[in-house]
């Protein structure tokens, strides 16, 4: 198992996120990845690799994200500081948004004011952006591209071990602690360079709204997500069971919303249903946006999985016998995050090597 490791992740280090009218400490912290690395040092399930700097990364980004959004992200910090010199000491967060009914008619007049641009490209105020965000997120996307390339070269399983996460980011927006959609970048890369059909199975606690949206009208990348019911759980505005894709992509998206409080047995039975759907699609590769916020100890989520269950999750994923890219997503019970992540990878390895 090749594990592509984002060594620049610490450049992204948010201070606070807006939650119900106040700023609270960020959940998505650099120590998350440190815990995975120290667990990998104890249980080396794969080799750690820094992605090459010779990837055609910009093309891979443009195949998923719009060029105006990428231009926004790459200059956002500079523009934020230009708004006011004091901003150099505070993270950028949006505070004004174009609701669909409001902006739909004037897409021809995007705002010049940067505070407004932040609202144009972000769907929440929980995703702080700072000086190192673009560099860190871009290196994470390089991990995703490298993981896809290694799969094409014949690896059975690869990992984009990175933060910030990606699955909430759309073609032209950030949110949910995400900036570049690493899972979508890997899936699109696989599709474009090798495979005819790719499946995405998102097992983060939160619906993978960005990935669903990016591939919503496509039949060649089947997106499946198991997550907290958006009626009560973030990201709220997408992720219902009746969202099945549109146009040529109709029938190629499937959501399994489950109520807050769901225990492993029910979650696992749902995973088995999702695996059957994916198997019926007969993809040539699988991308797993791997969130560990389904854990019982997660401070912001509501499922009840225990650490040992993640070994079984890994084994179940391996049972598909598909070349698989994992991208690291959420999981905020920081001190158990390493154990839970490596349990999935170890469980996957265990099943892959058994007859």
168 is catalytic: yes
What is the binding site for ligand SP5 (CB under 6 A)?
Answer: 19, 24, 126, 165, 168, 176-178, 204, 206, 234, 291, 293, 300, 329-330
Binding site for Zn ion (CB under 5 A): 204-206, 291, 293, 330
Nearer to Zn ion, 91 or 293 (CB): 293
Query: Minimum Å distance from CB 165 to ligand SP5?
Result: 4
User: What is the closest distance, in whole angstroms, from the C-beta atom of residue 168 to Zn ion in the complex?
Assistant: 8
Tell me whether residue 298 or residue 351 sits nearer to Zn ion (CB atom): 298
The residue written with tokens 């039949």 in the block is 219
Q: Work out the number of other CB atoms within 10 angstroms of the CB of residue 306.
A: 13
Q: Which is nearer to ligand SP5, 126 or 230 (CB)?
A: 126
Least distance (Å) between residue 330 CB and ligand SP5: 2
Which DSSP letter does residue 51 get? P
Residue 210 interacts, among ligand SP5, Zn ion, none and using kind-specific CB cut-offs from 5 to 8 Å, with: none
Q: How many CB atoms lie within 10 A of CB 352?
A: 17
Residues in the chain: 355
Beta-carbon neighbour count of residue 49 at 10 Å? 17
Among Zn ion, ligand SP5, none, the one that 176 touches (CB under a kind-dependent 5 to 8 A) is: ligand SP5
Instruction: State the binding partner of 300 from ligand SP5, Zn ion, none, CB within 5 to 8 A by kind.
Output: ligand SP5
CB of 27 to Zn ion, least distance (A): 10
Residue placing its CB nearer to ligand SP5 in the complex, 24 or 59? 24
| Candidates 27, 35, 65, 168; catalytic one | 168
The option from ligand SP5, Zn ion, none interacting with 177 (CB < 5 to 8 A, set by class) reads ligand SP5
**Assigned token pair, 42:** 């104890």
Residues 227 and 202 sit within 8 Å (Cβ to Cβ): yes
Q: How far is CA 267 from each of CA 61, 208, 336, rounded to the nearest angstrom? A: 33, 16, 20
Q: Which two tokens stand for residue 155?
A: 């690896």
Q: In the complex, which residue's CB is closest to ligand SP5? A: 330
Q: Where are the alpha helices (DSSP H) in the chain?
A: 31-42, 57-62, 67-83, 100-103, 114-121, 133-152, 182-193, 209-214, 264-281, 309-318, 334-353
Three-class SS of residue 178?
strand
Would you name the residues annotated as active-site residues? Answer: 168
């Amino acid at each position: 198992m090749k594990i592509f490791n984002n060594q620049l992740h610490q450049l992204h280090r948010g201070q606070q996120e807006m939650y119900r009218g106040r700023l609270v400490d960020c959940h998505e912290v650099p120590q998350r990845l440190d815990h995975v690395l120290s667990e990998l040092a104890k249980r080396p399930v794969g080799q750690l690799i820094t992605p090459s700097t010779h990837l055609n990364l910009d093309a891979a980004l443009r195949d998923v994200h719009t060029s105006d959004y990428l231009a926004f992200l790459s200059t956002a910090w500079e523009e934020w500081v230009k708004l006011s010199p004091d901003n150099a000491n505070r993270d950028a967060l949006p505070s004004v948004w174009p609701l669909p009914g409001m902006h739909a008619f004037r897409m021809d007049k995007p705002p010049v004011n940067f505070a407004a641009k932040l609202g144009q490209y972000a769907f929440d105020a929980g995703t702080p952006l700072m000086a190192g965000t673009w560099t860190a997120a871009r290196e994470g996307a390089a991990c995703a591209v490298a993981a896809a390339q290694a799969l094409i070269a014949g690896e059975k399983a690869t990992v984009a071990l990175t933060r910030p996460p990606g699955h909430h980011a759309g073609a032209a927006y950030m949110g949910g602690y995400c900036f570049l959609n690493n899972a979508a970048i890997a899936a699109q890369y696989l599709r474009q360079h090798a495979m005819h059909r790719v499946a995405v199975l998102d097992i983060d606690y939160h619906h993978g709204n960005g990935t669903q949206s990016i591939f919503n009208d496509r039949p060649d990348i089947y997106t499946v997500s198991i997550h907290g019911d958006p009626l009560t759980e973030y990201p709220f505005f997408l992720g219902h069971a009746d969202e099945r894709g549109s146009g040529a992509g109709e029938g190629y998206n499937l959501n399994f919303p489950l109520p807050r409080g769901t225990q492993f047995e029910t979650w696992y039975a749902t995973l088995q249903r999702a695996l059957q759907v994916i198997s019926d699609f007969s993809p040539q590769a699988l991308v797993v946006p791997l969130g560990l916020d389904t854990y019982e100890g997660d401070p912001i989520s509501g499922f009840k999985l225990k650490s040992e269950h993640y070994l079984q999750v890994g084994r179940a994923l391996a049972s598909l016998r598909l070349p698989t890219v994992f991208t690291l997503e959420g999981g905020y019970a920081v001190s158990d995050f390493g154990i839970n992540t490596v349990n999935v990878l170890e469980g996957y390895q265990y099943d892959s090597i058994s007859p």
